[in-house]
């Protein structure tokens, strides 16, 4: 029994330790996976993929049973003089298929780029909050060290230089600067708590970050190329612009399908009479 409680304690302490230290990747993954906008875009994308597959096939056939000669005012279908089974299949005009398929594929692209845009937006929000918390914690560290140094200067000026006017002035200046840094330190600590709470809210409770959570330095890659090259790459890989291009393609195919709407579709019907000794059927 003691071993069981010891094992549970080890697991709990390990979980607490893991929560006291977190990486940029863990934060970004938690925020992206719990963002409702990203999840909605993902489901829309998956739904568009499933819906697009139907454009490659014929519409579902229609089937029905016909009762003829049922007495008026009754629901006795067994008294029907004639019974028949009918199956019909609609076949769109062949020239419509290329535009129907292209429109469905374009709708998948639109949903996919919308999903990617939502992922990037959520990931950028997570990275900005993570980088802000890292900057604040570093500023707290530097401000704290400067505050300690000024306090030492004040004590040295008060004790070593005696009680002359110059020594007292140096001590007063050091005390004033020390008070300013201490006030700044309190402001930074509050800012760190607010930023940590923002990260936890963005993550939707998947991770809990506090002002005391140990974080690593954000990963920043060096930009390679000229301003024109970077601008061109950003435009070419922008999911928002790619989504607009896919929407234009989808609209164009929808317009072409509308132009072909006057072309007649084909409807095939098979009807079979259900009567003892009857082999009659009809096709239209």
Number of structural domains found in the chain: 1
CA 211 vs. chain centroid, Å, equals: 26
Residue 270 domain-assigned (yes or no): yes
Residue 6 domain-assigned (yes or no): no
Residue 188 domain-assigned (yes or no): yes
pLDDT greater than 60 at residue 193:
yes
* Mean confidence (pLDDT) of the chain: 79
Q: What is the CATH number of the domain that holds 259?
A: 1.20.1600.10
- How many other CB atoms sit within 10 Å of the CB of residue 113? 22
> Minimum mean pLDDT among 98-112, 129-143, 223-237: which range?
223-237
Whether this model's pTM surpasses 0.75:
no
Give residue-wise pLDDT tens across range 36-58.
Answer: 999 999 999 999 998 888 888 88
Residue 14 domain-assigned (yes or no): no
- How many other CB atoms sit within 10 Å of the CB of residue 227? 8
81 vs 201, residue with greater confidence:
201
The span from the CA of 234 to the CA of 256, in Å, is 32
Give residue-wise pLDDT tens across range 163-179.
Answer: 666 666 766 777 778 78
pLDDT greater than 70 at residue 182:
yes
The span from the CA of 74 to the CA of 91, in Å, is 37
- With b for 16 or more beta-carbon neighbours within 10 A and e for fewer, the 118-146 pattern comes to bbbbbbebbbebbbbbbebbeebeebeee
Q: Cα-flanking dihedrals φ and ψ of residue 262, to 5°? A: -75, -15
Domain range holding 125? 26-54+81-217+248-283
The span from the CA of 249 to the CA of 103, in Å, is 7
pLDDT greater than 70 at residue 222:
yes
Residue 119 domain-assigned (yes or no): yes
Residue 227 domain-assigned (yes or no): no
């Amino acid at each position: 029994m003691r071993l069981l409680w010891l094992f549970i304690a080890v697991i709990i302490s390990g979980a607490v330790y893991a929560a006291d230290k977190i990486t940029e990747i863990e934060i970004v993954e938690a925020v992206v996976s719990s963002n409702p906008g990203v999840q909605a875009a993902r489901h829309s994308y998956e739904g568009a993929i499933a819906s697009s597959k139907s454009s490659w096939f014929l519409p579902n056939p229609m089937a029905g049973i016909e009762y003829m000669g049922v007495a008026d005012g009754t629901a006795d279908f067994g008294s029907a003089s004639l019974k028949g089974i009918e199956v019909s299949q609609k076949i769109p005009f062949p020239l419509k298929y290329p535009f129907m398929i292209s429109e469905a594929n374009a709708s998948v692209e639109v949903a996919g780029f919308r999903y990617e845009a939502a992922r990037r937006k959520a990931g950028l929000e997570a990275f900005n909050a993570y980088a802000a918390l890292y900057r604040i914690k570093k500023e707290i560290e530097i401000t704290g060290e400067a505050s300690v140094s000024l306090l030492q200067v004040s004590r040295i000026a008060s004790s070593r230089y005696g009680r002359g006017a110059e020594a007292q002035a140096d001590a007063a200046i050091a005390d004033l600067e020390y008070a300013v840094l201490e006030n700044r330190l309190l402001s930074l600590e509050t800012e760190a708590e607010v930023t940590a709470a923002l990260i936890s809210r963005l993550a939707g409770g998947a991770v809990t970050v506090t002002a005391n959570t140990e974080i690593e330095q954000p990963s920043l890659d060096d930009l390679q190329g000229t301003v024109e090259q970077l601008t061109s790459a950003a435009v070419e890989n922008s999911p928002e612009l790619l989504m607009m291009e896919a929407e234009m393609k989808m609209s164009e195919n929808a317009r072409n399908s509308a132009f072909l709407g006057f072309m007649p579709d084909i409807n095939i019907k098979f009807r079979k009479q259900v009567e003892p000794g009857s082999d009659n059927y009809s096709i239209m």
